[in-house]
Amino acid sequence: MTQKTPASLKVRKKSLSKSSKAWVQRQLRDPYVAKAQAEGFRARAAYKLLEVDEKFHILKPGQSVVDLGCAPGSWCQIAASRGCRVVGIDLLECDAMAGVTFIQDDFTTEQGYEQVKQAMKSEFVDLVLCDMAANTVGHKETDGLRTQALSELAVDFALNHLRKGGSFCTKLFMNGYEAEAKKKMATLFERVQLFKPESSRAESREIFLVCVNKK
């Protein structure tokens, strides 16, 4: 969903459910939401990738990048601004952006997967990004497992389509799988680390697995 401005959130909050009102209030209090709007980013998530790149230097001009679960496009926006050629896929529609090929489809289906491969114009890419989470049902363990399943598919995609020297960054939910995933990837990449950006909300169970320089 495209990020709403604080003003529009204030206008709509009276008609929202209790849980939605809580989300709105959290957005209004979040300094990264206002900062993203002021700096022209599509979502606060942009700062997570900026922090990842500041620490791990995974974005380089001329790279080919695939962003799995890209809506509303803030990670694509960052990558494109660094001179990368980007393919992004999501179930939700994304507004057009220079330097980015957006695909509205499900990358976990054969149709979505094939569309991404065609848009890549090569079997291998330099960087795979995934800030994707499954739709929540309100049960932490279930939500974590659903997002874990998506992360496992993102891992498979990265291992199949990253060229030697390529990098991978995916979101995980802390439920024990993150240690298993780190151990698996440590045998395949020169540097593997779990990283929680400062822009990630303190109460969030998300953490990012960053894998640099595929062997």
Q: What is the tens place of the pLDDT at every residue in 163-181? A: 999 999 999 988 888 999 9
* C-alpha span between 184 and 189 (Å, rounded): 9
pLDDT at residue 65 greater than cutoff 80? yes
Q: What is the mean pLDDT of the chain?
A: 86
Query: pTM for the full model?
Result: 0.84
Q: Is 133 helix (H, G, I), strand (E, B) or coil?
A: coil
Least confident of 33-37, 79-83, 139-143: 139-143
Q: Which residues of 172-209 are buried (b: 16+ CB within 10 A; e: fewer)?
A: bbeeebbeebbeebeebbeebbeebbebbeeeebbbbb
pLDDT at residue 9 greater than cutoff 60? no
* C-alpha span between 88 and 100 (Å, rounded): 7
Q: Which domains can be identified in the chain, with CATH numbers?
A: 6-38 (no CATH), 46-214 (3.40.50.150)
Q: What is the tens place of the pLDDT at every residue in 122-168? A: 999 999 999 987 766 666 666 667 778 888 999 999 999 999 999 99
The catalytic residues are 171
> What pLDDT does residue 73 have?
96
Q: Is 152 helix (H, G, I), strand (E, B) or coil?
A: helix
> What pLDDT does residue 34 have?
85
pLDDT at residue 5 greater than cutoff 50? no
Residue 74, Cβ neighbours under 10 Å: how many?
23
Query: Terminal CA-to-CA distance of the chain, rounded, Å?
Result: 36
Q: Can you tell me which residue has the tokens 């995934």? A: 130
